[in-house]
Amino acid sequence: MWPTLAGSWDSRWYLRIADHGYATALGTAMDSNSLAFFPLYPGLVKAVAAVTPGSRASVALVLAAGFSLVAAWGIFAVGDLLHGPRTGVVLVVLWAALPVAVVQWMAYTESLFTALTAWALYWALRERWVAAGACAALAGLTRPTGIAVGVAVAVVAGVAWWRTRERDAWIGALLAPAGWLAFVAWVGWRVGRWDGYFAVQRLWRNQWDGGADTVRELRHLLAYQTRPQLFLVVVSGVLLASAALYLVCAADRQPRVLLVFTGVLLVVVLGSGGVYFPRARFLLPGFPLLLPVAVAVARTRRPVAWVVVSSAVVASAWFGAYMLLVWRGPP
């Protein structure tokens, strides 16, 4: 089990970057350019491994698990701030019980990214613009979907600056997208062309197509395949449920920063072509989508709430074991 958690699929790429750095050219080989992976997580792995015992794979796993706790704290803080501590606890449990949540304890970037996202959103809700912008900038150095956090914080901080001319809001708005933009610009400089990062993504068969590929995959899996693979059915269910929950969140008039973040996240994930199976994982940081469910569960009688959250946890544990032991592809 340890090799699966610490050294499989994307984990190998992060460890390779920590060991050897990034590619120096674009090249033409498909699925083989390390410049598609953002630098904060492998940089942390390399730095921590340099001053602690154990292999970089072990350090990567420990960091991922540790950041999952920081993420849970941030998610609770958002839920507590908006709807009270009981909703905060339920929100954390629901997030931790998502179908592919086991990747939070793999040597992947999801736990680090979710932690930075949660605290960026929390500080934005508290109107602590510099802290929000700094967390968003670091999130932008962690995953491609960091652009969603950067845009969300930049928008609300920019609106706050327009209304109040507060210097911190202006700084936060500039900071928020800086990490993502800096890495994209650096990749372009590294490979010698202005669209270098997007050229790298095309080599991974991953470019934005407005959702055409997502619709094709959903139609193929749910309408034409007689025996679709369970993992892909669950991924499809997560995508459809996320889109539906966004409409509920909009109807509930969630704070602007949450709606912008989850909206841009859904546009990026649902609108991208390329590989289909990791898209449920890409939506793990979108925990604000679960707020309407968390509020409803928190307001029910305690026995009903226990049944709901317990069922979610058991189902997630079973599917996590299936993903690691039965499913042959990446999570």
pLDDT at 7: 59
pTM here is 0.95
pLDDT at 207: 83
- CA–CA distance, 273 with 296 (Å, rounded to integer): 34
pLDDT at 57: 86
Q: Is residue 132 part of a domain?
A: yes
Per the structure, the complete domain to which residue 144 belongs is given by: 1-23+30-326
Q: Is residue 331 part of a domain?
A: no
Q: Is residue 271 part of a domain?
A: yes
pLDDT at 8: 67
Domain count, the chain: 1
- CA–CA distance, 138 with 177 (Å, rounded to integer): 9
Q: Is residue 14 part of a domain?
A: yes
Find out whether 179 and 138 touch, Cβ atoms under 8 Å: yes
Closest CA to 96 of 309, 325, 323, 321: 309
Q: Is residue 280 part of a domain?
A: yes
What is the tens place of the pLDDT at every residue in 249-294? 999 999 999 999 999 999 999 998 878 888 999 999 999 999 999 9
* pLDDT one digit per residue (tens) for the chain, 331 residues: 555 555 567 888 999 999 899 988 888 888 889 999 999 999 999 999 999 887 888 899 999 999 999 999 999 999 999 999 999 999 999 999 998 998 998 889 999 999 999 999 999 999 999 999 999 999 999 999 999 999 999 999 999 999 998 999 999 999 999 999 999 999 999 999 999 999 999 998 888 888 889 999 999 888 887 788 888 999 999 999 999 999 999 999 999 999 999 999 999 999 988 788 889 999 999 999 999 999 999 999 888 889 988 998 898 888 888 888 887 777 7
